[in-house]
Amino acid sequence: MMRALGLAFLLFTAFPASAQDVPLVADLSSHLVAITTGFSGTDVLLFGATDGPGDIAVVVRGPAKEEVVRRKGRMGPIWANAESVIFRDVPSYYRVASSRPLGEFAPQLLLSRYQIGVDSVRMLPADENMPAEQATVFKQALLRLKTEDGLYDQGVADVALMSNRLFRTQLHFPANVPTGTYLVEVYLFREGQITSAEIVPLTISKIGVGADLYDFAHGKWAFFYGLLAVLLAGSAGWTAGAVFRRV
Protein backbone atom coordinates (compact mmCIF):
# COMPACT_ATOMS: atom_id res chain seq x y z
CA MET A 1 0.00 0.00 0.00
CA MET A 2 2.76 2.44 0.92
CA ARG A 3 4.57 1.60 -2.30
CA ALA A 4 1.46 2.44 -4.36
CA LEU A 5 1.00 5.72 -2.51
CA GLY A 6 4.63 6.57 -3.08
CA LEU A 7 4.25 5.96 -6.80
CA ALA A 8 1.11 8.09 -6.91
CA PHE A 9 2.97 10.95 -5.24
CA LEU A 10 5.83 10.55 -7.73
CA LEU A 11 3.48 10.65 -10.70
CA PHE A 12 1.57 13.72 -9.67
CA THR A 13 4.66 15.66 -8.61
CA ALA A 14 6.61 14.68 -11.74
CA PHE A 15 4.11 16.38 -14.05
CA PRO A 16 3.15 20.07 -13.90
CA ALA A 17 -0.41 20.94 -12.93
CA SER A 18 -1.28 21.98 -16.49
CA ALA A 19 -0.22 18.57 -17.79
CA GLN A 20 -2.61 16.79 -15.43
CA ASP A 21 -5.57 18.21 -17.39
CA VAL A 22 -4.66 16.40 -20.64
CA PRO A 23 -5.88 12.83 -21.35
CA LEU A 24 -2.44 11.21 -21.12
CA VAL A 25 1.00 12.05 -19.75
CA ALA A 26 3.97 9.68 -19.52
CA ASP A 27 7.68 9.76 -18.74
CA LEU A 28 10.67 7.50 -18.11
CA SER A 29 12.77 7.09 -15.00
CA SER A 30 15.80 7.63 -17.25
CA HIS A 31 16.18 8.87 -20.82
CA LEU A 32 19.65 7.37 -21.23
CA VAL A 33 20.79 3.76 -21.05
CA ALA A 34 24.57 3.75 -20.80
CA ILE A 35 26.29 0.58 -22.04
CA THR A 36 29.58 0.15 -20.24
CA THR A 37 32.03 -2.73 -19.94
CA GLY A 38 30.23 -5.63 -18.28
CA PHE A 39 26.75 -4.38 -19.20
CA SER A 40 24.30 -7.24 -18.67
CA GLY A 41 21.00 -5.52 -19.42
CA THR A 42 18.84 -3.11 -17.50
CA ASP A 43 15.25 -2.04 -16.78
CA VAL A 44 13.75 1.41 -17.26
CA LEU A 45 10.55 2.43 -15.47
CA LEU A 46 7.81 4.03 -17.57
CA PHE A 47 5.10 5.75 -15.56
CA GLY A 48 2.19 8.03 -16.30
CA ALA A 49 -1.35 9.16 -15.64
CA THR A 50 -4.60 9.50 -17.56
CA ASP A 51 -7.72 11.60 -17.03
CA GLY A 52 -9.87 8.54 -16.40
CA PRO A 53 -10.37 4.82 -17.10
CA GLY A 54 -8.92 3.27 -20.25
CA ASP A 55 -6.45 0.71 -21.55
CA ILE A 56 -2.77 1.44 -22.06
CA ALA A 57 -0.47 0.04 -24.74
CA VAL A 58 3.27 0.82 -24.77
CA VAL A 59 5.45 0.24 -27.84
CA VAL A 60 9.25 0.57 -27.78
CA ARG A 61 10.91 0.78 -31.20
CA GLY A 62 14.64 0.68 -31.80
CA PRO A 63 16.42 2.26 -34.78
CA ALA A 64 15.33 0.88 -38.15
CA LYS A 65 17.84 -1.11 -40.15
CA GLU A 66 18.12 -3.52 -43.04
CA GLU A 67 17.82 -7.21 -42.20
CA VAL A 68 18.75 -10.23 -44.31
CA VAL A 69 16.98 -13.55 -43.70
CA ARG A 70 18.55 -16.68 -45.19
CA ARG A 71 17.10 -20.14 -45.63
CA LYS A 72 19.41 -23.12 -45.85
CA GLY A 73 18.97 -25.86 -48.40
CA ARG A 74 20.70 -29.12 -49.11
CA MET A 75 23.25 -28.98 -51.91
CA GLY A 76 24.57 -32.47 -52.33
CA PRO A 77 26.16 -33.67 -49.09
CA ILE A 78 26.20 -30.23 -47.41
CA TRP A 79 23.74 -27.59 -46.22
CA ALA A 80 24.21 -24.05 -47.53
CA ASN A 81 22.31 -20.79 -47.85
CA ALA A 82 19.94 -21.48 -50.74
CA GLU A 83 17.67 -18.43 -50.59
CA SER A 84 17.68 -15.02 -48.90
CA VAL A 85 15.31 -12.09 -48.50
CA ILE A 86 16.19 -8.50 -47.59
CA PHE A 87 13.78 -6.51 -45.43
CA ARG A 88 14.13 -2.75 -45.11
CA ASP A 89 13.33 -0.40 -42.22
CA VAL A 90 13.01 -3.21 -39.68
CA PRO A 91 13.02 -2.10 -36.02
CA SER A 92 16.26 -3.38 -34.47
CA TYR A 93 14.37 -3.68 -31.18
CA TYR A 94 10.63 -3.97 -30.55
CA ARG A 95 8.75 -4.46 -27.31
CA VAL A 96 5.07 -4.18 -26.44
CA ALA A 97 3.44 -3.94 -23.02
CA SER A 98 -0.25 -3.49 -22.39
CA SER A 99 -2.79 -3.40 -19.59
CA ARG A 100 -4.70 -6.30 -21.16
CA PRO A 101 -4.23 -8.55 -24.20
CA LEU A 102 -4.39 -6.24 -27.22
CA GLY A 103 -7.24 -8.10 -28.88
CA GLU A 104 -9.51 -7.47 -25.88
CA PHE A 105 -9.63 -3.68 -26.30
CA ALA A 106 -8.57 -2.83 -29.87
CA PRO A 107 -9.56 -4.11 -33.34
CA GLN A 108 -6.82 -5.73 -35.41
CA LEU A 109 -7.21 -3.16 -38.19
CA LEU A 110 -6.29 -0.35 -35.79
CA LEU A 111 -3.39 -2.33 -34.31
CA SER A 112 -2.03 -3.00 -37.80
CA ARG A 113 -2.31 0.66 -38.78
CA TYR A 114 -0.18 1.78 -35.83
CA GLN A 115 2.00 -1.37 -35.84
CA ILE A 116 1.07 -2.27 -32.27
CA GLY A 117 1.93 -5.90 -31.55
CA VAL A 118 4.77 -8.08 -32.79
CA ASP A 119 2.67 -9.60 -35.58
CA SER A 120 1.69 -6.10 -36.73
CA VAL A 121 5.26 -4.90 -37.30
CA ARG A 122 5.48 -3.84 -40.95
CA MET A 123 8.33 -5.60 -42.76
CA LEU A 124 8.50 -4.97 -46.50
CA PRO A 125 10.92 -6.95 -48.66
CA ALA A 126 13.32 -5.01 -50.86
CA ASP A 127 12.01 -7.00 -53.83
CA GLU A 128 8.58 -5.45 -54.40
CA ASN A 129 7.65 -8.25 -56.80
CA MET A 130 8.14 -11.00 -54.24
CA PRO A 131 5.02 -13.16 -53.76
CA ALA A 132 3.16 -12.32 -50.54
CA GLU A 133 3.28 -15.92 -49.34
CA GLN A 134 7.07 -16.07 -49.64
CA ALA A 135 7.48 -12.71 -47.86
CA THR A 136 5.24 -13.91 -45.02
CA VAL A 137 7.31 -17.07 -44.51
CA PHE A 138 10.56 -15.11 -44.24
CA LYS A 139 8.94 -12.44 -42.04
CA GLN A 140 7.83 -15.09 -39.56
CA ALA A 141 11.37 -16.51 -39.55
CA LEU A 142 12.80 -13.05 -38.82
CA LEU A 143 10.30 -12.49 -36.00
CA ARG A 144 11.26 -15.86 -34.50
CA LEU A 145 14.98 -15.05 -34.65
CA LYS A 146 14.48 -11.61 -33.08
CA THR A 147 12.36 -13.11 -30.32
CA GLU A 148 14.94 -15.82 -29.59
CA ASP A 149 17.62 -13.10 -29.31
CA GLY A 150 15.48 -11.23 -26.77
CA LEU A 151 15.12 -8.21 -29.07
CA TYR A 152 11.39 -8.66 -29.75
CA ASP A 153 8.81 -9.28 -27.05
CA GLN A 154 5.09 -8.83 -26.48
CA GLY A 155 4.09 -8.63 -22.84
CA VAL A 156 0.55 -9.44 -21.75
CA ALA A 157 -0.87 -7.39 -18.87
CA ASP A 158 2.60 -5.96 -18.18
CA VAL A 159 1.19 -2.46 -17.60
CA ALA A 160 -0.10 -2.06 -14.05
CA LEU A 161 -3.11 0.26 -13.61
CA MET A 162 -3.92 1.90 -10.29
CA SER A 163 -6.99 3.93 -9.35
CA ASN A 164 -8.06 3.97 -13.02
CA ARG A 165 -5.63 6.85 -13.60
CA LEU A 166 -2.06 5.83 -12.80
CA PHE A 167 -0.03 3.29 -14.72
CA ARG A 168 3.49 1.92 -14.78
CA THR A 169 5.57 -0.78 -16.43
CA GLN A 170 9.19 -1.95 -16.49
CA LEU A 171 10.87 -1.89 -19.90
CA HIS A 172 13.65 -4.46 -20.15
CA PHE A 173 16.69 -3.98 -22.39
CA PRO A 174 18.93 -7.06 -22.75
CA ALA A 175 22.72 -7.10 -22.90
CA ASN A 176 22.69 -7.30 -26.72
CA VAL A 177 20.42 -4.27 -27.17
CA PRO A 178 21.43 -2.15 -30.20
CA THR A 179 22.53 1.44 -29.63
CA GLY A 180 20.74 4.48 -31.03
CA THR A 181 17.66 6.62 -30.47
CA TYR A 182 14.53 4.75 -29.40
CA LEU A 183 10.91 5.88 -29.44
CA VAL A 184 8.66 4.86 -26.55
CA GLU A 185 5.07 5.22 -27.73
CA VAL A 186 2.24 5.29 -25.17
CA TYR A 187 -1.37 4.88 -26.36
CA LEU A 188 -4.61 5.39 -24.44
CA PHE A 189 -7.50 3.25 -25.74
CA ARG A 190 -11.19 3.76 -25.03
CA GLU A 191 -14.08 1.91 -26.68
CA GLY A 192 -11.78 0.38 -29.27
CA GLN A 193 -10.24 3.68 -30.36
CA ILE A 194 -7.03 5.58 -29.61
CA THR A 195 -8.06 8.71 -27.72
CA SER A 196 -4.58 10.00 -26.89
CA ALA A 197 -0.93 9.16 -27.50
CA GLU A 198 2.50 10.36 -26.44
CA ILE A 199 6.02 9.62 -27.65
CA VAL A 200 8.98 9.70 -25.25
CA PRO A 201 12.54 9.48 -26.64
CA LEU A 202 15.18 7.21 -25.15
CA THR A 203 18.88 7.02 -26.03
CA ILE A 204 20.97 3.86 -25.70
CA SER A 205 24.67 4.57 -26.07
CA LYS A 206 28.06 3.01 -25.40
CA ILE A 207 30.30 4.99 -23.05
CA GLY A 208 33.74 4.55 -21.54
CA VAL A 209 36.42 2.16 -22.80
CA GLY A 210 33.88 -0.01 -24.59
CA ALA A 211 32.70 2.98 -26.65
CA ASP A 212 36.28 3.93 -27.55
CA LEU A 213 37.01 0.38 -28.75
CA TYR A 214 33.77 0.29 -30.72
CA ASP A 215 34.53 3.59 -32.43
CA PHE A 216 38.08 2.41 -33.16
CA ALA A 217 36.80 -0.84 -34.68
CA HIS A 218 33.98 0.68 -36.75
CA GLY A 219 35.21 4.20 -37.53
CA LYS A 220 37.91 5.55 -39.80
CA TRP A 221 40.49 3.35 -38.03
CA ALA A 222 38.66 0.11 -38.83
CA PHE A 223 41.42 -1.06 -41.21
CA PHE A 224 44.11 -0.62 -38.57
CA TYR A 225 41.91 -2.33 -35.96
CA GLY A 226 41.55 -5.35 -38.25
CA LEU A 227 45.27 -5.39 -38.98
CA LEU A 228 46.07 -5.19 -35.26
CA ALA A 229 43.64 -8.02 -34.51
CA VAL A 230 45.31 -10.22 -37.15
CA LEU A 231 48.79 -9.45 -35.79
CA LEU A 232 47.73 -10.18 -32.21
CA ALA A 233 46.08 -13.45 -33.23
CA GLY A 234 49.15 -14.49 -35.19
CA SER A 235 51.45 -13.55 -32.32
CA ALA A 236 49.33 -15.52 -29.85
CA GLY A 237 49.39 -18.56 -32.13
CA TRP A 238 53.17 -18.36 -32.61
CA THR A 239 53.71 -17.99 -28.85
CA ALA A 240 51.48 -20.97 -28.06
CA GLY A 241 53.26 -23.08 -30.68
CA ALA A 242 56.68 -22.16 -29.25
CA VAL A 243 55.60 -23.05 -25.71
CA PHE A 244 54.20 -26.45 -26.73
CA ARG A 245 57.33 -27.29 -28.74
CA ARG A 246 59.41 -26.77 -25.61
CA VAL A 247 57.09 -28.94 -23.59
Give backbone dihedrals phi and psi of 109, rounded to 5 degrees, phi first.
-60, -40
pLDDT tens digits for range 29-39 = 999 999 988 89
- Higher-pLDDT residue of 84 and 246 is 84
Best-predicted range by mean pLDDT (6-15, 20-29, 112-121): 112-121
Question: Alpha-carbon distance 116 to 58, whole Å?
Answer: 8
Mean pLDDT of the chain: 81
**Residues in the chain, total:** 247
Q: How deeply is 168 buried, as exposed, middle or buried, from its count of CB atoms within 10 A (0-12, 13-18, 19+)? A: buried
Print burial letters for 66-104: b (CB count within 10 Å at least 16), e (below 16).
ebebeeeeeeeeeeeeeeebebeebbbbbbbbbbbebee
pLDDT for res 181: 96
Q: Reduced to 3 states, what is the DSSP secondary structure of residue 73?
A: strand
179 closest CA partner among 151, 205, 209: 205
What residues does each domain of the chain span?
A: 2-206, 208-247
**Superfamily of chain region 2-206:** Macroglobulin (MG2) domain (2.60.40.1930)
